[in-house]
Amino acid sequence: MITKRIIPCLDVKNGRVVKGVNFEGISDVSSPVELAKYYSESGADELVFYDITASFEERKLFTDILREVASEIFIPLTVGGGINTIEDFDRVLKCGADKVSVNSGAIKNPSLISEAAKKYGNQCVVISADVKRVDGVFRVFSKGGRENTGMEAVSWIKRCVDMGAGEVVVNSIDTDGVKKGFDIEMLSAVLDAVDVPVIASGGAGGINDFVELFEKLPSIDAGLAASIFHFGEVTIQGLKDELYKNGINVRLN
């Protein structure tokens, strides 16, 4: 039966992975290629590369790096950050990305989702939503979580799926960085509303948080995290072994 996916996320700026990484056996800890290889070899099911650069020159460097990663690592690659147009989709797909994640770009121009889905297929379009509770209501935030769009999150996500998004990443701003577990309540609300794969993001502090995620939400498809993997607090292999022991189906080969 299909396995639950574990997905590390790498923020890339100026061709380097930001947020220090501390592993033995990696000579260059901020090289996206070295890190991607390390994660791939240790059992990551997919990698997310987040482009946090701003200028045109830096963006070109990002695609060069992506091409290098894609020519050496043979697991699915998702790219996010700065995706505002169909040309942006084209740019990263040509460099070996398999899926493209849109966030603020879709909020500014929702038809980006339907256009991209039509051109590249639903499986290629991932809607990533930064969500936070405001007066008890789930609201979508844009610009890296800084700006409240006023939109209700579950209906926004559902609308994106109806327009053709083939996968959803829900990043809970409320649990992000707190390291006390994923936002089960928020994820559950999204899972009830859509029938495409949903990836949980925000809040992983340790192995038990992933066990809780998959036990409490049997229909969640994947767990995404950054810092706990980068800082070596949790290794992907160690996490998967533990999930397996808890009866959760993961890929071990």
Partner 1 sequence: MVAIIDYDVGNLFSLHSSLKMVGADAVVTSDKDVISSADRIILPGVGAFGDAALKLRETGLYEVILNEASRGKKIMGICLGMQLLFKKSFEYGEHCGLGLLEGQVVSMHGRLPESLKIPHIGWNGLHFSKKSDLLKYVKENDCVYFVHSFYAENCEDSLVATTDYGREITAMVEKDNISGCQFHPEKSGLVGLSILKAFCEGG
Q: Which residues are catalytic?
A: 11, 130
Label the pairing between strands 137-142 and 125-134. Answer: antiparallel
87 binds partner 1 per the rule CB under 8 A: no
193 in contact with partner 1 (CB under 8 A): no
Q: Are the C-beta atoms of residues 168 and 127 closer than 8 Å to each other? A: yes
Closest CA to 166 of 117, 228, 112: 117
Q: Does 35 bind partner 1 (CB under 8 A)?
A: no
Out of 58, 98, 174, 241, point to the residue binding partner 1 (CB under 8 A).
Answer: 98
Does 219 participate in binding partner 1 (rule CB under 8 A)? yes
Q: Is 82 in the site for partner 1 (CB under 8 A)?
A: no
Cα–Cα distance between 46 and 188 in angstroms, integer? 23
String of DSSP letters for 46-93: -EEEEE---SHHHHHHHHHHHHHHHTT--S-EEEESS--SHHHHHHHH
Mask: binding to partner 1, 110-139, rule CB under 8 A, as x and -? Answer: -----------xxx----------------
The number of residues that bind partner 1 (CB under 8 A) is 31
Minimal distance in Å, beta carbon 146 to partner 1?
A: 31
Contact pick of 15, 110, 145, 197 for partner 1 (by CB under 8 A) = 197
215 binds partner 1 (CB under 8 A): no
Closest approach of partner 1 to the CB of residue 79, in Å: 12
> Residue 216 to residues 116, 157, 213, 245, 248: CA-CA distances in angstroms?
33, 21, 6, 16, 11
2 is an interface residue for partner 1 by CB under 8 A: yes
Q: How many angstroms separate the CA atoms of 8 and 49, rounded?
A: 9
Among 10, 12, 35, 95, binds partner 1 (CB under 8 A): 95
Tell me how far, at minimum, the Cβ of 54 lies from partner 1, in Å: 26
Q: Where are the alpha helices (DSSP H) in 181-235?
A: 184-193, 207-216, 227-230
Among 71, 109, 148, 155, binds partner 1 (CB under 8 A): 71
Residue 94 binds to partner 1 (criterion: CB under 8 A): yes
Q: Per rule CB under 8 A, is residue 251 in the interface with partner 1?
A: yes
Alpha-carbon gap, residue 75 to 157, rounded angstroms: 26
